[in-house]
A and B are shown apart, each in its own frame.
Chain A
Amino acid sequence: MDKWQDNRAWFLVLPVFVIVAFSALIPLMTVVNYSVQDIFGPGETVFVGTEWFKQMLGDYRLHDALLRQFLFSGLVLLIEIPLGILIALAMPKKGWGVSTSLVILALPLLIPWNVIGTIWIIFTRPDIGLFGVGINSLNLLDPPFDHTATPLYAWITVMLMEVWHWTPLVALLAYAGLRAIPEAYYQAARIDGASPWATFWYIQLPKMRGVLTIAVLLRWMDSFLIYAEPYVLTGGGPGNSTTFLSIYLVKIALQQFDLGPGAAFSLIYFLIVLLFSFIFYQALQRVGKGEKG
Chain B
Amino acid sequence: MKVKKKTIGLLIYFAILILPIYWMLNMSLRSNADILASFALYPKDITFVNYLKILTDSSWYMGYVNSMIYVFMNTVIALTFALPAAYAFSRYRFLGDGQMFFWLLTNRMAPAAVFALPFFQLYSTIGLLDTHIAVALAHCLFNVPLAVWILEGFMSGIPKEIDETAFIDGYRFPRFFITIFIPLIRAGVGVTAFFCFMFSWVELLFARTLTVTAAKPISAIMTRTISTSGLDYGLLAAAGILTIIPGALVIWFVRNHLAKGFALGRV
| Majority SS at the chain A contact face | helix
Q: Which of A15, A164, A210, A250 contacts B81 (CB 8 A)?
A: A15
Q: By the criterion CB–CB under 8 Å, are A24 and B107 in contact?
A: yes
Q: By the criterion CB–CB under 8 Å, are A31 and B115 in contact?
A: yes
Q: By the criterion CB–CB under 8 Å, are B248 and A3 in contact?
A: no
Q: By the criterion CB–CB under 8 Å, are B92 and A107 in contact?
A: no
| Least distance between B112 CB and chain A CB atoms (Å) | 7
Q: How far is the CA of A10 from the CA of B236 in the complex (A)?
A: 48
Given contacts A6-B92, A103-B251, is CB(A227)–CB(B112) below 8 Å? Answer: yes
Q: Scan B83-119; emit 1 where CB is below 8 A from any A CB, else 0.
A: 0110111011111010010101111111111111111
Q: Which of A119, A181, A228 contacts B205 (CB 8 A)?
A: A228
Q: Which of B17, B85, B117, B219 contacts A259 (CB 8 A)?
A: B117
Contacts of A123 in B (CB 8 A): 19-20, 23-24
Q: Which of A16, A22, A92 contacts B85 (CB 8 A)?
A: A16
Verify if A111 is at the interface (C-beta below 8 Å from B): yes
Contacts of B184 in A (CB 8 A): none
Q: By the criterion CB–CB under 8 Å, are B27 and A221 in contact?
A: no
Among listed A73-81, A144-152, A184-192, A269-277, interface-contacting one: A269-277
Q: Which of B118, B156, B201 contacts A110 (CB 8 A)?
A: B201
Q: Which of A26, A91, A266 contacts B114 (CB 8 A)?
A: A266
Q: How far is the CA of A254 from the CA of B14 in the complex (A)?
A: 39
Q: By the criterion CB–CB under 8 Å, are B240 and A115 in contact?
A: yes
Within B134-177, the residues touching A (CB, 8 Å) are 137-138, 140-141, 144-145, 148-149, 153, 156, 159-160
Within A1-47, the residues touching B (CB, 8 Å) are 1-10, 12-13, 15-17, 19-20, 22-24, 26-28, 30-31
Q: By the criterion CB–CB under 8 Å, are A114 and B93 in contact?
A: no
Within A222-258, the residues touching B (CB, 8 Å) are 224-225, 227-228, 232, 245-246, 249-250, 253-254
Q: How far is the CA of A250 from the CA of B144 in the complex (A)?
A: 25
* Closest chain B residue, CB of each to CB of A175: B262
Chain B interface size, under 10 / 10 to 19 / 20 to 34 / 35 or more: 35 or more
Verify if A50 is at the interface (C-beta below 8 Å from B): no
Q: By the criterion CB–CB under 8 Å, are A19 and B198 in contact?
A: no
Q: By the criterion CB–CB under 8 Å, are A9 and B88 in contact?
A: yes
Q: Which of B17, B35, B97 contacts A107 (CB 8 A)?
A: B17
Q: How far is the CA of A221 from the CA of B39 in the complex (A)?
A: 39
Within B1-25, the residues touching A (CB, 8 Å) are 6-7, 9-10, 13-14, 16-21, 23-24
Q: How far is the CA of A168 from the CA of B95 in the complex (A)?
A: 37
Q: By the criterion CB–CB under 8 Å, are B94 and A99 in contact?
A: no
Within A249-293, the residues touching B (CB, 8 Å) are 249-250, 253-254, 259, 262-263, 265-266, 269-270, 273-274, 277-278, 281
Q: By the criterion CB–CB under 8 Å, are B20 and A13 in contact?
A: no
Q: By the criterion CB–CB under 8 Å, are B262 and A111 in contact?
A: no
Q: How far is the CA of A112 from the CA of B205 in the complex (A)?
A: 11
Verify if B122 is at the interface (C-beta below 8 Å from A): yes
Q: How far is the CA of A167 from the CA of B223 in the complex (A)?
A: 26
Q: By the criterion CB–CB under 8 Å, are B140 and A111 in contact?
A: no
Contacts of B233 in A (CB 8 A): 122, 128
Q: Which of A7, A110, A120, A246 contacts B113 (CB 8 A)?
A: A246
Q: By the criterion CB–CB under 8 Å, are A173 and B77 in contact?
A: no
Contacts of B138 in A (CB 8 A): 23
B residues lining the A interface (CB < 8 Å): 6-7, 9-10, 13-14, 16-21, 23-24, 27, 35-36, 39, 41, 77, 81-82, 84-85, 87-89, 91-95, 97, 100, 102, 104-119, 121-122, 137-138, 140-141, 144-145, 148-149, 153, 156, 159-160, 198, 201-205, 218-219, 222-223, 233, 236-237, 239-240, 243-244, 247-248, 250-252, 255-256, 258-259, 261-267
Closest CB pairs A-B (n = 8) = A180-B265, A110-B247, A27-B118, A266-B114, A9-B92, A30-B118, A12-B88, A16-B85
27 of the cross-chain contacts (CB-CB < 8 Å) are: A9-B94, A15-B85, A16-B144, A19-B81, A20-B145, A27-B118, A28-B115, A30-B121, A99-B255, A103-B251, A110-B198, A110-B244, A110-B248, A111-B240, A114-B204, A114-B222, A173-B267, A179-B262, A180-B265, A249-B111, A250-B114, A253-B114, A253-B117, A254-B117, A274-B109, A277-B106, A281-B102
